[in-house]
Structure 1
Amino acid sequence: MAQSFTSSITQKDPSLPADTEMFNLAGDYGNAFFESFHDNNVFSQYLFNYWQYTDYYGTWPGQPIANVPKSLYDKKVQSDWTQKWFEFGTLNLPNAAYANAAHKNGAKSIAMIFYSDNDRGEQTYKDLLEGKCADGTYPVADKLVEIAEYYGFDGYFVNQESDVSADDVPAYQDFMKQIVDQGIYIQWYDSATYPGGGVGYQDMFNGSNSPYVQDTDKGKISDSIFLNYWFSGNMLKDSAAHAESFGIDPKYAVFAGIESGQKKFDSIGSNAGYMNVNLDDTGKPYVSLAALGTDFVSRELGDDKKVYPKYQNQVFDRERRLWTGSSTGEKGTTDIADNYIDDGTSNDGWKGFASQIAECSVVGGSMFSTSFNTGRGLEWRDGGERTSDQQWGNINLQDILPTWQWWIDADSDPLQADFDYGKDYEAVPRFKYTKVGGYEGGDSLVLSGKLSNDNTIRLYKTDLDVAAGSKIDLTYNKLNSDDSKLQLGLILADDPETVVPVDVTDGSAGNGWKTASVDLSQYAGKKIATLGLIVKAGAD
């Protein structure tokens, strides 16, 4: 797994604490029948893009499994198989491609263990405790460790939403402890209570659920808890204090749940209120955050839109707003695709998860490469040449995406950034650029608009070492000639207040894709803390 890092000197909001974490529990490709495949041939399946705010990615609820009775599918889920998003297996393993993507971006990949009264068939938690050995250990616990290590994911979200017999509560604790003691992460959902075992949502971390995380006699039982959603007042403040009373870090052990998939944008103001409760008098979070159902940004469009490529621009705007607070990445930009998306100036109070989660990065060392692939396409290109006209989706092929979507500094009329998927892509109306598609893969990064003055586009938070002979190769496609200039915009770690311009090319049209090589030897021995671009306006 890549090592992620934060750095306050290059954060968009330097006041954000770096230790507030995010647990994202969502559907992978947005349809259970796609979840067991690492790729698909559909541009319009949901595909996650905001790893920079994510520490844990959990599968909800996961893959189809063998031998599930057809009657369960027909009676318990939607009748149309193409729209099924809910699965009946007790154990839901992460999609392998999503596990890879999580690890590439420095996040843990989390499976799910799910029990409830109305959709698990005959399966109950007692299956986990079967066959207890003479030494007090549980074979299923060891098998779950073996499964995680074999498939390469990092832990389990335990969603025990049916009553546990009071007599079984100590055994359930021991079962989880056996897994955690072998280095496998567990997050417990705020459901079954202690010591009685009945489901009773506490909406805070207290004596009725903390023994499933930290027991005064047994020690560590699990790593963390996902709090139910109905907290208010001082409940999160008291939750943090309760964690600290055990000597555990509330930012590591306590996650305030945000019901994204249920509230959606229709009730986003309600979730904004829950987010605000997590802030102390200085604006710092008491505990970390967890979200369920962030893939609603696709599902909420409805079956008549979400499966068609022409509406995916709305999904992209919705997802950007959910995570950053603004569908455009900046305030004050109009011409938004639909009523539930705005430019960050709405009075509904939603500021995005980025308002409490500091952006992180994995871009370090001495080498970094990206083609800005989001993991989907309406075509495929090699060296700028179209080699396939087929739709595709594969998060395995997703590059490390820009840390900020978007951070563009200009005195007025900032340029707009988008991912260009080619001539068959329908962008939102605010974009007027000529589509050329990707250079390698399914898309490229496009900057467009009126160049009234110089624009600085911050793309990546980095920790890149510069040595003698270091260089940057930048491939670009300039369609029209003008007197502008394209430069790298570097921020060096030893001078974080200064953006260093490095010339790349003038404003001449390129007649196709061109690659410019920029020598960085003059900065040998330094570290690049931010990698971006500067587009300098000319006299015209």
Structure 2
Amino acid sequence: MDEESNVPVTKPISEYEDIFAWEGGNDPLSISKFPIASIADKRGLPKTLVCHDMKGGYLDDRFVQGSDNSDAYRFYHWEYLDIFVYFSHHLVTIPPPCWTNAGHRHGVKVLGTFITEWKYGFECCNVFLETVELYERFATKLVNIAEYYRFDGWLVNVENVIEPSKVIDLKGFLTCLTRKMHEAIPSSLVIWYDSVVDTGHLDWQNELNEKNSLFFDACDGIYLNYNWTENKLSKSKERSVAADRPFDVYAGIDVFGRGTPGDGGFNTREALDMVRQHELSTAIFAQGWVYETHGKENFTINENRFWGDLYDLCPYNKRTTLPLVTSFCQGYGQKYYLQGLVKDENPWSNLHMQQIQPHYPFIIPSSDNNIGVYIDMDTVYQGGTSLRVEGDPSLTFRPFTFSLFYTEIPLTSGIKVVLVTKEMEDQDGGIHLLLDLKQTRTRKQIVLTPQIHHNSPTSEDNNILKQPDLISEQNGWKSRIYIVPHSVIEDWTLIGISIRCLSPTPESTINRFYIGQLKILPSDHIVPNVELTDLRVTRVDTSEESETLVYNIEWSCSQYNLVDYYNIYSSSETDNYQLCGHASTEIYVLVVKGLHENTQTLTIQPVMLTGEVMALQSCSTCTM
């Protein structure tokens, strides 16, 4: 709990005694929810790691139920990452669950950090490396911590001198930690930071060589320090190939510069291009430089500029399974929306609620068509943001296509596609969804069109046109449902999803429209019927002087793996449903400021991973 606000927070571990004594089980709110999404095999490609170091860590992201700061730092370019490391200078850095959840949604592994530094680090290493039994026990505790919080491994950063006699034990510890992590979590990783060498000295090498290769041999990879040269990259490549591990060397790039070739910042591409020319993986350090140095006012513009300059050097992730569902929410907003209605007028931030993010280079205005695609916080279907397509209303809107997702999804049966949009009255029918498919060497495209349109492609273009099977409208948003039968797509692979924007008539011009939700589901998808049981409320004691009441609300859900998150509402005889907050797991801490005389009814509303929302009248309730 945060001592000032009484709300739950994720905390690091700073003392080695606390690691030896760690038993787990007392921090359920900090456990991540989602397993890693399945993505296409990227073997044979260099990897991209981001090491998130921002102002000591544990800022707004430490609040496991989200914060009221819509300007909090967020990350949404997951498509280009393989690994995300949550970093701080505490002994053990436990990633807040919002980061693990957001990374896992996108198929990205999330690591914590084990770091020892300076005098205390020297003392710590002397203690846990004293005997084989002690370092094996210490390694087991780190494995247990990762298992409990459900993240994917460790960056190990020993930044202090090691007694020469203990170097072999340090390697033994690293070997033991890696082996035990693989046994507990088969897809896990342990990565060593280029720091201590075989003599025990703290001597950053900026390359893989004979001085640090013993640690590289003991784990899943090495994160090189940032002051490398072309020659050092070449030698690192040669040595990693000799070990048959060409992509387990991560050349560090400090976005703040500090010795990195090109000096980082918006010139980070220079260093990354050098790394890729040597066919090595990369570790991009402190990507939050954009937010820290250029502020929050134009963060989206600057963030897209930063990653827009790197994306072609970072092999992207391709989803391999259905369902694919997103409302394009980035995990923040000025208000919270549910099916087009405002449910909470207050700003918020919660990366757990971030939805699958699309391929982002398109969010740059196009000079050819005088049109751009943007994130919008004012017209939203679900969550805090939607996609806005906007052009110059004085110009005729010519056909414009932008890519949403690259995928590699084998289709073995029919699919149901739902596209939720909001358009101006004279622009109805201006959005087509394009599904690109391949079968061996053959490719085809299915165009899901709102209606047969003057600009619609014809069969001569090798496209298959499909009009909606059902159209419905809710709160100003139009849902179009398409059933694509198995006879059209069976044994094909879905490789891409795009949007094509058209003007509704030859004479019309376009201003803007919005994309609120996209769902691609198996055609036999049935809306899940989730039942909550054992709903209970427990008062948590606070100081006698405090006028703040704290309650633990807990429940059980046999189909919790179908639920994205829960909305928590309170109501009374005199008040309608008031949204209190959101829970990522089956527990919520409710903080009530001031004493309430009326009996309050609490309602728990599941929001499904497939986008459906249970009607409040059907949700489980209890009294407080």
TM-score, structure 2 length as denominator? 0.65
List aligned pairs for 1:383-398, cutoff 5 A: 383-398=339-354
Following TM superposition, by how much is the alpha carbon of 1:444 offset from its aligned partner in structure 2, in angstroms?
0.8
List aligned pairs for 1:98-113, cutoff 5 A: 98-113=99-114
For 1:30 and 1:499, the matched residues in 2 are separated by 48
For 1:393 and 1:60, the matched residues in 2 are separated by 20
Q: Is the 8 A contact 1:105 1:361 kept in 2?
A: no
1:358 paired residue number: 315
Aligned Cα root-mean-square deviation (Å)? 2.9
| 1:154 matched to 2:152 | yes
Following TM superposition, by how much is the alpha carbon of 1:467 offset from its aligned partner in structure 2, in angstroms?
5.8
1:447 paired residue number: 389
Q: Is the 8 A contact 1:157 1:189 kept in 2?
A: yes
For 1:487 and 1:192, the matched residues in 2 are separated by 56
Bigger Cα displacement from structure 2, 455-464 vs 26-35: 26-35
Following TM superposition, by how much is the alpha carbon of 1:355 offset from its aligned partner in structure 2, in angstroms?
3.0
Amino acid at match of 1:57: F
Tell which structure's C-alpha radius of gyration is larger: 2
Following TM superposition, by how much is the alpha carbon of 1:463 offset from its aligned partner in structure 2, in angstroms?
2.9
Amino acid at match of 2:287: T
SS in structure 1 opposite 2:60? coil
Following TM superposition, by how much is the alpha carbon of 1:121 offset from its aligned partner in structure 2, in angstroms?
7.7
For 2:386 and 2:41, the matched residues in 1 are separated by 26
* Unaligned runs of at least 5 residues, structure 2: 1-35, 183-187, 454-470, 508-624
List aligned pairs for 1:363-512, cutoff 5 A: 364-406=320-362, 412-422=368-378, 436=379, 438-450=380-392, 451-466=396-411, 469-482=414-427, 485-494=430-439, 499-505=445-451, 512=476
**TM-aligned CA distance change 1:259 to 1:28, over 3 Å:** closer
Following TM superposition, by how much is the alpha carbon of 1:33 offset from its aligned partner in structure 2, in angstroms?
4.0
1:528 paired residue number: 494
Amino acid at match of 1:23: L
2:46 paired residue number: 20
Following TM superposition, by how much is the alpha carbon of 1:387 offset from its aligned partner in structure 2, in angstroms?
1.0
| 1:243 matched to 2:240 | yes
SS in structure 2 opposite 1:163? coil
| 1:395-448 Cα shifts (integer Å, max 9, x gaps) | 1111110023317998931531111111xxxxxxxxxxxxx2x10111111111
Q: Is the 8 A contact 1:488 1:501 kept in 2?
A: yes
SS in structure 1 opposite 2:272? helix
* Unaligned runs of at least 5 residues, structure 1: 8-16, 62-87, 215-220, 326-351, 423-435
Amino acid at match of 1:296: W
Q: Is the 8 A contact 1:28 1:48 kept in 2?
A: no
| 1:198 matched to 2:225 | no
For 2:329 and 2:267, the matched residues in 1 are separated by 34
**TM-aligned CA distance change 1:392 to 1:127, over 3 Å:** farther
1:129 paired residue number: 129
SS in structure 1 opposite 2:214? helix
| 1:93-116 Cα shifts (integer Å, max 9, x gaps) | 111121122222111111111122
For 1:377 and 1:412, the matched residues in 2 are separated by 31
Q: Is the 8 A contact 2:429 2:450 kept in 1?
A: no
Amino acid at match of 1:201: W
Which one has a larger percent strand, Structure 1 or Structure 2?
A: 2
1:64 paired residue number: none
| 1:188-233 Cα shifts (integer Å, max 9, x gaps) | 1111111x1111111111111111111xxxxxx1110111111122
Q: Is the 8 A contact 2:121 2:160 kept in 1?
A: no
SS in structure 1 opposite 2:369? coil
For 1:358 and 1:416, the matched residues in 2 are separated by 24
| 1:89 matched to 2:35 | no
Following TM superposition, by how much is the alpha carbon of 1:506 offset from its aligned partner in structure 2, in angstroms?
7.7
List aligned pairs for 1:29-428, cutoff 5 A: 31-38=57-64, 39-61=66-88, 88-117=89-118, 124-130=124-130, 132-133=132-133, 138-182=136-180, 183=182, 184-194=188-198, 196-214=199-217, 221-246=218-243, 248-251=244-247, 253-262=248-257, 267-268=264-265, 271-280=268-277, 285-301=278-294, 305-306=295-296, 311=297, 314-325=298-309, 352=310, 354-362=311-319, 364-406=320-362, 412-422=368-378
Amino acid at match of 1:516: R
Amino acid at match of 1:4: I
For 1:192 and 1:260, the matched residues in 2 are separated by 23
Following TM superposition, by how much is the alpha carbon of 1:117 offset from its aligned partner in structure 2, in angstroms?
2.0
**TM-aligned CA distance change 1:496 to 1:224, over 3 Å:** farther
Q: Is the 8 A contact 1:130 1:138 kept in 2?
A: no
For 1:181 and 1:483, the matched residues in 2 are separated by 58
**TM-aligned CA distance change 1:315 to 1:29, over 3 Å:** farther
**TM-aligned CA distance change 1:370 to 1:28, over 3 Å:** farther
**TM-aligned CA distance change 1:89 to 1:482, over 3 Å:** closer
For 1:320 and 1:200, the matched residues in 2 are separated by 36
Q: Is the 8 A contact 2:257 2:263 kept in 1?
A: no
For 1:212 and 1:129, the matched residues in 2 are separated by 15
For 1:417 and 1:123, the matched residues in 2 are separated by 54
